[in-house]
Amino acid sequence: MSQTQSRTDTTTLKLQGMSCAGCANAIQKAINNVSGVEECEVNFASEQATVQFNPEKTSLETIQGAVEDAGYGASVYSQEDMMTGRGDAEIVAREAELKDLKRKIWVSGVISLILVVGSLPMMTGLDLPFIPPWLHNYWLQFVLTTPVQFWCGSHFYRNAWKAFKNRAATMDTLVALGTSAAYFYSLFATLFADFLIQQGLTPQVYYESAAVIITLILVGRFMENRARGETSQAIRKLIGLQARSARVIRDGETKDIPIQEVEIGDMIQVRPGEKIPVDGEVTQGYSTVDESMVTGESIPVEKSVGDEVIGSTINKTGSFQFQATRVGKDTVLSQIVQLVQQAQGSKAPIQNLADQVTGWFVPVVIAIALLTFVLWFNIMGNVTLALINMVAVLIIACPCALGLATPTSVMVGTGKGAENGILIKSAESLETAQKLNTIVLDKTGTLTEGKPQVTDYVTTFGTSNQNELKLLRLVALLEQQSEHPLAEAVVDYAKSQQVQFNGIVEDFNAITGSGVQGTVSDRVVRVGTARWFNELGIKTETLAEKANQWEAAGKTVIWIAVDHELEGIMALADTLKPSSVDAVKALRTLGLEVVMMTGDNEKTAASIAQQVGIPRVMSQVRPEQKAEQIVSLQQEGKQVAMVGDGINDAPALAQADIGIAIGTGTDIAITTSDITLISGDLQGVITAIELSRATMTNIRQNLFFAFIYNVAGIPIAAGILYPIFGWLLNPIIAGAAMAFSSVSVLTNALRLRKFQTL
């Protein structure tokens, strides 16, 4: 048996022609039916489908074909297209649709007005002499309404037909059925008026209802479309940040070239006030750079030789040269756009409910509408009342707002996050973040700068400078092999003391969470924690008092032993980030329990925790135990967020309900966290949590708005209140309510754009 390697490709398709969540369901079904498709998620708000498929079993063309067969359009959309502005096609298409809608609204609006005026005497039962009676001529009304019904309302029919072919029913089905019922009943009354009078019935027409409903729904759709364009504004803003050209130095010549032509390794010149075109490393010069558009951090950052610069950020005062390290779709900005787009296309768990409801909603509504008709006709024997109530039910029940409620807020919320330098991986993360009640902060690099420095150094053999330097040489040789931040600090210190780095380390071994050991000139050197030395049986008493003092001051002490004898200790201090104290305070104000976690010893940890105001500390946690510690917090019934630098804390970040990676400059892609803070500022954690709370509140409001129209509207439209109060719902009011429900949901979602942190 031959074994074929199975591969999975993930592609984003841009969809066209959807009018409600029912359409999204239909497309999702169609794509899932293609064999070779592993997973598919269709998002109505962002109008995109994320498809995972096996390229050996199916192709993109097949998938696109399936979407087209279902009656919709799908175009493939690459990251490059997105960044080079082909995404504007979406805007152009939207503009065209808006223009078409506007024209139809004018026509149907003016005609509706004439019809309503003409029907006023009949509707109100008043004698209105200024309205000429011929305005209420059935045939005139018929002539006026027909173009509204079949031209302005044409796409309701078209979409309803598409849905019907897919054995589905969408909001268009409801609108088409509802207005057709009103129109054709009126036509019947117009044609057979005499016959109806002979039968003792009053021939009534409802042309104005059909026309007004169509007008209102078109207005609703117009506003919906316009607002939807605004929800994706954040992404367009990000894309718009890109520079258009770069000033490269090739073969000693400086020339301006389009940004697409920049290659990795190119030398690029940046002058004051210019946009940095791509990502790279400074090779010459010095300047300050405003990175706020990417990191959300407003203070300009100093850049000198060796520092990384991010494309699309703005150079302030100085002028410098840098070498391009990432171009095209690999740049930080491009990756941010990709991440935000993915997040915007993802589904929040809270949406499942809405989706399920919309799935069976339309058929149920049609059933209720028929039942309404039958009951009214049988009980009241009045075909007119039966008909208008049925129409009212069909119109008010439209579930379109329900489909918009969650995704629009998610789009605005995640976009808002990106504006503040907060990348939220998915709608699910956004939803989970608001449930958090415990936040675990890593000490090194999260609360502190993560750049420790040696502050003290003593040995057991007094102050003979010679011997101290000899020992320092051994320590430094060993630490040179280690990648730990403490090790780097020790090496820097040794260099500053003019230590000669000659010598070979054999049998080097790093014991995570404990220290390092190795053999130099046949002597076994160990540098690490007291706990480790105690385990090895190395006596630490002689310097214990000194170490205690340092640790109480919040310094990390590392112990040095040669051939199983303690020979010295060294203290390293790491400065707190300036924002840490305020951030911890704010997190506690938000009602979160704040915990500090570190591999450092108890006393140092306690001292730092006290300085930043954290009551609960988990110290001496080995790297591999960090995830277990998160589990134990979760077992206490807590919803835990872990904040770390995302590299050595990865398992803990993954274990936590929400893993928040503190940015390490430009490595956004490697983090597997739920939320990434591009700037290393803890303030971002607060913003993220607040944003998630604001978004979820917004979603709940939206769901309320969306549900209330349907839930309250259907029984009223069916005439439940008629026996008690004599109330009926005029189909026109139903049309207005339904148009307004989508608009109110969108308007509410867009309010999120004004979100601001404490």
Ligand X SMILES: Nc1ncnc2c1ncn2[C@@H]1O[C@H](COP(=O)(O)OP(=O)(O)OP(=O)(O)O)[C@@H](O)[C@H]1O
Q: Which does 22 bind (CB under 5 to 8 A by kind): Cu ion, Mg ion, ligand X, none?
A: none
Spatial separation of the C-alpha atoms in residues 105 and 115, rounded to whole Å: 15
- CB 400 to Cu ion: min, Å: 3
- Per-residue contact flags (x/-) with Cu ion for residues 148 to 177, judged by CB under 5 A: -----------------------x------
Residue among 173 and 446 whose Cβ is closer to Mg ion = 446
Q: Which does 659 bind (CB under 5 to 8 A by kind): Mg ion, ligand X, Cu ion, none?
A: none
Which string of DSSP letters, residue by residue, matches 532-562?
HHHHHT---GGGHHHHHHHHHTT-EEEEEEE
Residue among 597 and 691 whose Cβ is closer to Mg ion = 597
Residue among 331 and 648 whose Cβ is closer to Mg ion = 648
Spatial separation of the C-alpha atoms in residues 27 and 42, rounded to whole Å: 7
- CB 599 to Mg ion: min, Å: 6
The crossing angle, in degrees rounded to 10, of helices 400-419 and 207-231 is 20
Q: Which does 567 bind (CB under 5 to 8 A by kind): Mg ion, Cu ion, ligand X, none?
A: none
Residue among 224 and 645 whose Cβ is closer to Mg ion = 645
**Is residue 651 at the binding interface for ligand X, with CB under 6 A as the rule?**
no
Residue among 82 and 160 whose Cβ is closer to Cu ion = 160
Q: Which of 409, 107, 79 is nearest to 228 (CA)?
A: 409
- CB 175 to Cu ion: min, Å: 7
Residue 63: strand, helix, or coil: helix
Spatial separation of the C-alpha atoms in residues 504 and 477, rounded to whole Å: 8
Angle (CA) 437 439 441, round 5°:
175
Residue 510: strand, helix, or coil: strand
Options 172, 442, 657, 674, the catalytic residue = 442
Q: H or E stretch including 441?
A: strand 438-442
- Per-residue contact flags (x/-) with Cu ion for residues 113 to 152, judged by CB under 5 A: ----------------------------------------
Using the contact rule CB under 5 A, the part of the chain among 80-88, 243-251, 439-447, 604-612 near Mg ion is 439-447
- CB 31 to Mg ion: min, Å: 45
Spatial separation of the C-alpha atoms in residues 667 and 335, rounded to whole Å: 10
Are 516 and 487 a contacting pair, CB within 8 Å? yes
- Per-residue contact flags (x/-) with ligand X for residues 451 to 490, judged by CB under 6 A: ----------------------------x--x-x-xx---
Residue among 242 and 648 whose Cβ is closer to Mg ion = 648
Positions 394 through 413 that interact with Cu ion (CB under 5 A): 398, 400
Residue among 271 and 622 whose Cβ is closer to ligand X = 622
**Is residue 434 at the binding interface for ligand X, with CB under 6 A as the rule?**
no
- CB 171 to Cu ion: min, Å: 3
Q: Which does 527 bind (CB under 5 to 8 A by kind): Cu ion, ligand X, Mg ion, none?
A: ligand X
Residue with tokens 């950020």: 313
Residue 688: strand, helix, or coil: helix
Q: How far is CA 31 from the centre of its chain?
A: 24
- CB 673 to Cu ion: min, Å: 38
Positions 611 through 630 that interact with ligand X (CB under 6 A): 622-623
Residue 68: strand, helix, or coil: helix
Residue among 427 and 558 whose Cβ is closer to Mg ion = 558
| Type of residue found at 146 | T
Q: Which does 171 bind (CB under 5 to 8 A by kind): Cu ion, Mg ion, ligand X, none?
A: Cu ion
Q: Which does 673 bind (CB under 5 to 8 A by kind): Mg ion, Cu ion, ligand X, none?
A: none
| Tokens of residue 293, six digits | 């558009």
Using the contact rule CB under 6 A, the part of the chain among 164-172, 252-260, 423-431, 513-521 near ligand X is 513-521
- CB 234 to ligand X: min, Å: 34
Number of residues that bind Mg ion (CB under 5 A): 1
Q: Which does 513 bind (CB under 5 to 8 A by kind): Mg ion, Cu ion, ligand X, none?
A: ligand X
Using the contact rule CB under 6 A, the part of the chain among 220-228, 336-344, 595-603, 699-707 near ligand X is 595-603
| Cβ burial 702-721 (10 Å sphere, 16+ → b, else e) | bbebbbebbeebbebbbbee
CB contact set of 523 (below 8 Å; sequence gap of 6+): 474, 562, 563
Spatial separation of the C-alpha atoms in residues 270 and 310, rounded to whole Å: 12
| Tokens of residue 163, six digits | 């849905």
Q: Which does 14 bind (CB under 5 to 8 A by kind): Cu ion, ligand X, Mg ion, none?
A: none
CB-count burial class (<10 Å; 0-12, 13-18, 19+) for 636: exposed
- CB 509 to ligand X: min, Å: 11
Spatial separation of the C-alpha atoms in residues 383 and 404, rounded to whole Å: 36
Using the contact rule CB under 5 A, the part of the chain among 3-11, 266-274, 436-444, 699-707 near Mg ion is 436-444
Residue 527: strand pairing partners: 516, 560
Residue among 105 and 527 whose Cβ is closer to ligand X = 527
Spatial separation of the C-alpha atoms in residues 119 and 287, rounded to whole Å: 73
Residue among 298 and 548 whose Cβ is closer to ligand X = 548
φ/ψ of 478, rounded to 5, equals: -70, -50
CB-count burial class (<10 Å; 0-12, 13-18, 19+) for 255: exposed
| Type of residue found at 144 | L
Among 204, 444, 710, 742, binds ligand X (CB under 6 A): 444
**Is residue 444 at the binding interface for Mg ion, with CB under 5 A as the rule?**
yes
Spatial separation of the C-alpha atoms in residues 268 and 6, rounded to whole Å: 42
Active site residue 330: no
| Type of residue found at 192 | F
φ/ψ of 44, rounded to 5, equals: -70, -40
Q: Which does 623 bind (CB under 5 to 8 A by kind): ligand X, Mg ion, Cu ion, none?
A: ligand X
Residue among 527 and 703 whose Cβ is closer to ligand X = 527
Q: In 517-643, which residue ranges form alpha helices assigned H by DSSP?
A: 530-536, 544-552, 580-589, 602-612, 626-635
Positions 542 through 571 that interact with ligand X (CB under 6 A): 556, 558
Spatial separation of the C-alpha atoms in residues 81 and 12, rounded to whole Å: 12
Number of residues that bind ligand X (CB under 6 A): 22
Q: Which does 224 bind (CB under 5 to 8 A by kind): ligand X, Mg ion, Cu ion, none?
A: none
- CB 744 to Cu ion: min, Å: 13
- CB 507 to ligand X: min, Å: 15
The number of residues making up the chain comes to 758
**Is residue 527 at the binding interface for ligand X, with CB under 6 A as the rule?**
yes
**Is residue 598 at the binding interface for ligand X, with CB under 6 A as the rule?**
yes
- Taking phi over 0 as left and psi of -120 to 50 as alpha, with beta for the rest, 71 belongs to left
Residues forming contacts to ligand X in the complex (CB under 6 A) are 442-444, 479, 482, 484, 486-487, 513-516, 527-529, 556, 558, 598-600, 622-623
The catalytic residue positions are: 442
Residues that bind Cu ion (CB under 5 A): 171, 398, 400
Q: Which positions touch Mg ion (CB under 5 A)?
A: 444
